[in-house]
Amino acid sequence: MRTLYRSLATAGLALALVVPALAQAQQERVIRFGHLNNADHPVSFGVKRFAELLSAKSGGKMKVQEFPASQLGNEMQQQSALQGGVQQMSAPATTSLAGIVKEFGLVDFPFSVNSFAQADALLDGPLGQALIAKLPEKGLVALGYWDLGFRNVTNSKRPITRPEDLEGLKVRVIPNPVFLETFKAFKANPVPMPFAELYGALEAKAVDGQENPYAVILSNKFYEVQKFVSATNHVYAANIVLVSKKFWDSLTPAEQKMMNDAANEARGYQRQVSRAAAQKAVGDLQAKGAQFNELSAAEQKRMREIAKPVVDKFAAQYDPAIVKLYNDELARIRK
C-alpha cells in the first residue's frame, strides 16, 4: 500500500509540474512591435507578415500589435525599452546597435557589397550570426535581418555626380561613428540627428540633405523638401528583427520556435517587397518632381578610395577575430 501511495504522490507531482507548463504554453501573448517607418513601408509589410505567421502558428495565442512611425520613440528609446522589457520587439537599422556592439559598424562600411545577393550572403552567413551572438548579453535577441536597401544621398542644393559635390553640404546622418567619418572624408558637414526630426530639419533648411534608401525617401515625402536624388549607393542598409531578452526568456521553447520560424518565413517576403518597392520608388520620385541622377562607375570607385581610410580606421578598433571573419566572408561572396 505504501508503494501505491508513493506512486500516486510521484504521479501527482509530475502532473503538478506539467499543468503549469501547459497553461503557460496556452496563455495569450501580446507583442508590442515598434519601428520608425510608416505603415506603407516594406518594414511595416514585414511586421504584418510576421504577425500573420505567428498568429497562425500559435493558434491565435501570440498577437502582434504594430506601432509604426516612431510611435514608441526613436531607435535608441525603443532599444532601451526592449532591454528593460517594456517593449517586446522592434526592427531598427543595424546602425543603431553600434553603440552597444561596436562590431555592428562593419555592416555600415561604405561600398562593401554591390548587390543584394552579396548583402544577403554576408548577413545570413557566419558574419551576421557572429554579430547576433553578441546581443543577448546586452539584453537583446535577434531573429535575423530584413532589407532596408542601398542608401542614397538627397539634397536641396545640387546633383551629386562626384565626391567633390558633397563638399560643404550639411547632410543628416544616423548618429553613428562610421557614417560621421565617411561623410567627413567626403568633406561634407555630417549632422547626426534622430530620424523622427529629419523632415522638419530639411524643411527648415537646418540641413541641406540626408541619405536613405529610395523607399524611405518616398514614404517620408522627402521629395517635398529635397530636389536632388543621387544614386550614390554608398552603403547597404539592413534592418534587424530584435526581441527583448526579458520577454524571450519568459517564453516556452515551443513559443520561441514559433517566433523563430515566423521570422525566417517573413524574411524572404520582406526582402522581396522591399526590393520591388525600391525599384518602383525611383520612378515615383521622378514623377513627384525629384531630379534623379546616377554616378559613373569611375566616380563610385573614387568615392570608395576616399572612404577606404575610414574603413581601415574602424576595422583596427574592432575585435580582430570578427574583422577577419568579415574580410574572409567578403572574399568568399565576391567570387
Measured distance between the N- and C-terminal CA atoms of the chain, rounded to whole angstroms? 74
In this structure, what CATH number is given to the domain that contains residue 17?
Answer: 3.40.190.170
Per-residue pLDDT of 278-303, as tens digits, reads 999 999 999 999 999 999 999 999 99
Distance CA 212, CA 148 (A): 9
Per-residue pLDDT of 192-248, as tens digits, reads 998 889 999 999 999 999 999 999 999 999 999 999 999 999 999 999 999 999 999
SS3 for 315? helix
User: Which of 144, 165, 143 lies closest to 153 in space, CA to CA?
Assistant: 165
- Domain span at 293: 2-333
Point out the residues of the chain with pLDDT beneath 50: 4-5, 8-9, 11, 13-25
Residue 207 DSSP code:
S
Distance CA 102, CA 108 (A): 11
Q: What total number of domains does the chain contain?
A: 1
Q: What share of the chain is helix, strand, coil (3-state, %, to 5)?
A: 55, 20, 25
Residue 125 DSSP code:
S
246 within 8 A of 85, measured Cβ to Cβ: yes
Here the cell at position 45 is 509589410
